[in-house]
Amino acid sequence: MTKKRFLFVLLTTIVVGATVLSACAPAAEVEEPAVMEEEAAEEPAEEAMEEEAASLAVGIVLPTKDEPRWIQDETRFRDALTAAGYDVEILFSQGDSAKEKANVEDLITKGVKVIVICPHDSAAAAAAAEAANEAGVKVVSYDRLITDTDAVDYYVTFDSVSVGEQQGQYLVDKAEGTGNPLYLYAGAATDNNAFLFFEGAWNVLQPKIADGTFVIKNSSEALALQDKAELTRDEMGQIIGQVTTNWDFNTAKNLAEANLTAAPAADKGDVFILAPNDGTARAIADAYAADTDVTSYVVTGQDAEVASVQYIIDGKQSMTVLKDVRTLVADAISAAVAYLEGGAPEETKTYDNGVMEVPAKPSEVVSVDQDNVKAEIVDSGYWPAEEFTGLE
């Protein structure tokens, strides 16, 4: 048996709504033979249902269809698995932890052996992970870490602290002199990654805040902690609570506009903006671009969404951090196969989820701006050139 065929048998992924054979006897004058035919027909139907359950191996649960990032992940999963000859079902929780748990329970009843979960709420997802664990199903936390439970077997992720560090370093590299206005924004307080991104950014920005290169303009909580090089999770939580975008375009835009309305002209001019991801970066960039007191802005992002790559080409977003989802998807599939073969995926690092150290192998990330956008995004095959205009 070839390796591909072997994996195909092991990793037949979430076949949805497989046709269950059913049969009804045709109308007949004699009732007894018809009943016998129905009973005979039910046997293959039951066998088909049992066969379907036995074939299921891996389930995938993503947090929402409403953010381009997760549609991108869905596409990459489908492309990778289809190219390998597998069928796949990907369930979305639509920002609802109860639906997330229901999705997991549904996959458990279908007989999956491994569930890949990207949690909507890191702590709330513990209940879903525990349900899977109790059923003997391996749990792979995908991109976002499931917290407050010992029911997580593995974490597939990028180096999230490095993402924040690259965002912070980009701002530092573009700053000149002292007194540069710095506006901080963060992801959702329910997402463990938001803390890791902010931790990384703070690692780089704090020394430059302390020496006067930057002056924080939109967070009293960050100002109160500006002399502290290492923040506790609670301290980061205080800052994130004040500058959260909740990963939402409109929330980010409204917060940025409120910050600009409250800020005097002296706190604007050439500004530097820590935006947590591409969706919020575009929203925040639009708000700052519309303010006549803002002379220029440098704004960060992450995910290399098509719309943000176009913004970078057009000079409306300064940078993004490319987290090659093809790599993350491959890592998730490899982890699942390792468990299905009775082994364990490679571990190079662990992450504290509040209860346990979760094994992981974080993937590298790349900073992208106008200087290397063609090489990193198009030439690498991440997105086709046809998606963009003005690309040289």
pLDDT at 166 over 50: yes
Cα-to-chain-centroid distance, residue 279: 13
Can you tell me the distance from the alpha carbon of 290 to that of 293, in angstroms, rounded to the nearest whole number? Answer: 9
Any domain includes 149: yes
CA distances from 171 to 181, 182, 242, 300, 301 (A): 11, 9, 21, 8, 11
pLDDT band at 33 (very low <50, low <70, confident <90, very high): very low
pLDDT at 242 over 90: yes
142 and 275 housed in the same domain: no
224 and 265 housed in the same domain: yes
Per-residue confidence (pLDDT) for residue 40, from 0 to 100: 44
Strand partners, 116: 60, 140
In this structure, which amino acid lies at residue 24? C
Q: Count CB neighbours of 10 within 10 A.
A: 16
Strand partners, 142: 156
Cα-to-chain-centroid distance, residue 282: 18
Can you tell me the distance from the alpha carbon of 303 to that of 197, in angstroms, rounded to the nearest whole number? Answer: 13
Beginning with the edge strand found earlier in the chain, give each strand of the sheet holding 349-352 in spatial order.
Answer: 90-92, 58-62, 114-117, 138-142, 154-156, 357-360, 349-352
Domain that holds residue 232: 160-322+368-387
Please, how many CA atoms are within 13 Å of residue 265, restricted to the half-sphere of its CB? 3
In CATH, what number is assigned to the domain containing residue 73?
A: 3.40.50.2300
Any domain includes 12: no
Tokens standing for residue 286: 């639009």
173 and 98 housed in the same domain: no
Can you tell me the distance from the alpha carbon of 286 to that of 230, in angstroms, rounded to the nearest whole number? Answer: 32
Can you tell me the distance from the alpha carbon of 361 to that of 390, in angstroms, rounded to the nearest whole number? Answer: 37
Residue 251, phi-psi category: left (phi > 0), alpha (psi -120 to 50), beta (remainder): alpha
Strand partners, 181: 215
In this structure, which amino acid lies at residue 13? T
Burial of 24 (0-12, 13-18, 19+ CB in 10 A): exposed
Cα-to-chain-centroid distance, residue 136: 25
Phi, psi of 272 (to 5 degrees): -125, 130
146 and 212 housed in the same domain: no
The CA dihedral of 302, 367, 224, 209, to the nearest 10 degrees, is: -150
CA distances from 140 to 17, 45, 79, 384 (A): 24, 33, 20, 30
Any domain includes 45: no
Domain count, the chain: 2
276 and 309 housed in the same domain: yes
Asked if residues 63 and 93 have their Cβ atoms less than 8 Å apart, the reply is yes
Per-residue confidence (pLDDT) for residue 86, from 0 to 100: 66
pLDDT band at 87 (very low <50, low <70, confident <90, very high): low
346 and 291 housed in the same domain: no
Any domain includes 170: yes
Any domain includes 346: yes
194 and 109 housed in the same domain: no
Across 40-49, 50-59, 251-260, which has the greatest mean pLDDT? 251-260
144 and 192 housed in the same domain: no
232 and 350 housed in the same domain: no
Can you tell me the distance from the alpha carbon of 129 to that of 102, in angstroms, rounded to the nearest whole number? Answer: 11
144 and 207 housed in the same domain: no
Range in 11-25, 162-176, 265-279, 315-329 with the lowest mean pLDDT: 11-25
82 and 170 housed in the same domain: no
Contacts of 123 (CB under 8 A, 6+ apart): 147, 148, 190
Any domain includes 151: yes
Can you tell me the distance from the alpha carbon of 143 to that of 336, in angstroms, rounded to the nearest whole number? Answer: 15
Can you tell me the distance from the alpha carbon of 294 to that of 14, in angstroms, rounded to the nearest whole number? Answer: 51
Per-residue confidence (pLDDT) for residue 81, from 0 to 100: 72
pLDDT at 137 over 70: yes
Per-residue confidence (pLDDT) for residue 79, from 0 to 100: 81
Any domain includes 349: yes
Range in 45-49, 120-124, 153-157 with the lowest mean pLDDT: 45-49
pLDDT band at 85 (very low <50, low <70, confident <90, very high): low
88 and 226 housed in the same domain: no
Q: Say how many residues make up the chain.
A: 392
Can you tell me the distance from the alpha carbon of 106 to that of 144, in angstroms, rounded to the nearest whole number? Answer: 21
Indicate the SS3 state at residue 319.
Answer: coil
Indicate the SS3 state at residue 152.
Answer: coil
Please, how many CA atoms are within 13 Å of residue 262, restricted to the half-sphere of its CB? 11
Any domain includes 3: no
pTM: 0.79
Q: Count CB neighbours of 388 within 10 A.
A: 18
Provide mean pLDDT across the span 17-31.
Answer: 37
